[in-house]
Amino acid sequence: MTASRLIADLRSDTVTTPTPAMRGAMAQARVGDDVYGEDPTVNELQAEVARLTGHEAGLFMPSGTMTNQVAIALHTRRGEEVICAEGSHIYEWELGMMAAFSGVVPRFVSAPLGVPAPEDVRAAVRRSVHQSPSGLISLENTHNKAGGTVIPLDVLAGIRAVATGEGLPLHLDGARVVNAAVALGVPLRDVTGLFDTVSVCLSKGLGAPVGSVLVGTAAQMRQAHRYRKMMGGGMRQAGVLAAAALVALREGPARLAEDHRRTRELAHALVNAGFDVDLSAVQTNIIYAAVPDAAAHAARWSEQGVLCNALGPDSVRFVLHHQIDDEALAGAVRVLTA
């Protein structure tokens, strides 16, 4: 496929390119050495994300994998378990880093539509001397592998109560947490304020070119700074990236409801064309469709100008984002349902 034939890139919401406003902000960004904490634009971004999420401080990092893994390192000791929902990104797509860096292993909890029940989380807690002890509870909202599904606020409160009662820290992988807040119709801090640490990705639905921010207490962020350095995440004059991220943070949330609308429209079009899509899982900007010989279908659609990811022998994922407008959506529907 040539670039001139591209109709819609639905592989991920990470494929967006910087907007003119982002490029302008990057060109004008005030910068300093962020490893020394001297980049004013990075400091502004960190403070703004912390404020919006209801936390004391934040730390800018290159990726959501890094912010998640730094959080795991903050909260755990070697040999412990991380209680997480089945299909969690911290296990499925972070390349065994919780074991390699922190020396911990996952303890999975059943999570229909990406939502673990508080009682199942409590039952997963381990105290026996004969087993790895529990060190952390981690949730993912929205849940990527479940289809971009949202954890209801009452479930979050229930799991917060479990964490408090068991004396365990609670972390949120918030790669698309702003999507979750928009879908719930609540301020971001209503979703994020219950957690001890939160990873907020800026380069997915919000559209920044690079970066995530980990939020928590100021003391936690001081230790996180050390772990970030250990992982090679000290970026020096990172204000050029933080400037674009600030634009995404301020302008991106208002666009997400339209992304969600277009996602529902695409899902219904796929179902009407005979595709197997669980519409109850289509809650934000992700669709999983059961497609026999998924890789062959994805390759054929790519030749016709629509990019998507085959994530298994019979599963294709489509992700909507702000650079898919109604015209691109219509073109994608024509190709996918032909």
| pLDDT interval class at 3 (50, 70, 90) | very low
**Cα 212–chain centre separation:** 9
pLDDT higher than 60, residue 301 = yes
pLDDT higher than 70, residue 324 = yes
**Structure confidence at residue 323 (pLDDT):** 98
**Structure confidence at residue 209 (pLDDT):** 98
Which pLDDT tens digit goes with each residue over 232-280? Answer: 999 999 999 999 999 999 999 999 999 999 999 999 999 999 999 999 9
| DSSP line for 218-274 | HHHHHHHHHHHHHTT---SSTHHHHHHHHHHHHHSGGGHHHHHHHHHHHHHHHHHTT
Q: CA angle at residue 252 from 142 to 229, to 5 degrees?
A: 70
| DSSP line for 134-149 | EEEEEEESSBTTTTSB
Q: Do 270 and 337 form a contact (C-beta atoms < 8 A)? A: yes
**Helices 64-75 and 218-230: crossing angle, nearest 10°?**
120
Which pLDDT tens digit goes with each residue over 116-168? Answer: 999 999 999 999 999 999 999 999 999 999 999 999 999 999 999 999 999 99
**Structure confidence at residue 2 (pLDDT):** 45
- Looking at residue 242, its amino acid is A
Which pLDDT tens digit goes with each residue over 196-219? Answer: 999 999 999 999 999 999 999 999
pLDDT higher than 80, residue 13 = yes
Chain mean pLDDT for the chain:
97
